[in-house]
Amino acid sequence: MKRVVITGLGAITPLGNNVAEFWKNIISGKSGAGPITKFDASLFKTRFAHEVKDFEPEKYFERKEVRKYDLFTQYAVAASDEAIADSGLDFANISDAERAEVGVIWASGNGGISTFEEQLQEFNSGDGTPRFNPFFIPKMIVDIAAGVISIRHKLFGPNYATVSACASSNTAIINAFDTIRMGKADVMIAGGSEAAITKSSIGGFGASQALSKNNEHPQNASRPFDANRDGFVAGEGAGALVLEELEHAKARGAKIYAEIVGGGMAADAYHLTGTPADGHGASLGMQKALKDAGITFDKIGSVNAHATSTPQGDLSELNAIRSVFGTHPIKVTATKSMTGHLLGAAGAIESIISALSVKTGIVPATINLENPDPNIPEGLDIVSGKSIQTEQEYVMNNTFGFGGHTATTIFRKFQD
């Protein structure tokens, strides 16, 4: 099997519209939460979210092009443009044969949900005559972001979307990793984007009792592992990674952030939205990732937990981590406390955090953890308060989705 490294990163997030700003705010323990501005949420039970701020699509598209793309695709293009530029790859000066060895796998859980919502509202407000925007379908469908990225850079390699709810972008990264190490491409752009701060999304998640209702203190609402947590806080944005076959990267003198060495996927096979108390599917995914990486659990320095801040989900995952790591002390962090839950894009931005964590040795803190849940399994070292500096060779990243999907990735500090 070929080795796969990360040579480029890009981010559009509630904590910054580039990787440098995003990482600075993550290690500083900053929250990206605030009142919803994308629509009038005054009548909703949840009136806050982690929104992207100051995003200007005209920086990435000609003005006439902006209306062709849903916001989730605009975020995808912006993040992937940064990652490609960061990698140093020059797609403008490569042959068609080389272009055939570069692909895109892009994820989203909701795709163009705002486009879908807007079009139905327009239709229902009319006289019943079926009039729809000609861009309706290509703006809405989940695979379109992958297609737009490949069209933009004329990339002829494998190109598709993954959808596994909130595990979607981790699934995309695992698939891209497998594609390269099996020799089916030299370079893959992988990640995910989400733009689901909409009436239907916030209303739907709220109806399922999944969202926090701490409207008075939005920056403190996302509080994984805290006894007073009351649900997740929705987020939006995108994360992009350039994955590259090691020898291909070395041949062009690329900088390398980290190596991706393992990916594991499994299923809870339990409930539409809930997770089993023992976290069986989560533990299976982690075990498969360890086996894929060819390492034992004691090699992992820290785990970036899925930890959305739901009462049942947090404990289920911690029980799964304890079952995998036994009595071995393991550092656990939950960066959704700062970013909110980016749904299908969560795995991508958390993979960026994991890659930078293993490169720098910095483990970001879980913020808002003031009163730890008394049911947290003993022996877990939950990093809270402030980020810490530590020696770690491997970092694990967990993501789970409605439907019981689990996806775990493992990153290694690069050693040639």
What does DSSP say about strands 237-245 and 4-12: parallel, antiparallel, or unpaired? antiparallel
Rounded CA Rg of the chain: 20
Alpha carbon 46 to its chain's center: 22
What does DSSP say about strands 330-333 and 405-412: parallel, antiparallel, or unpaired? unpaired
**Phi and psi dihedrals of 221, rounded to 5?**
-75, -35
Could you list the active site residues?
A: 166
d(CA 206, CA 41): 12
Q: Which amino acid is at 21?
A: E
Distances (CA, A) of 143 to 104, 139, 240, 350, 379: 10, 10, 15, 21, 42
d(CA 13, CA 238): 6
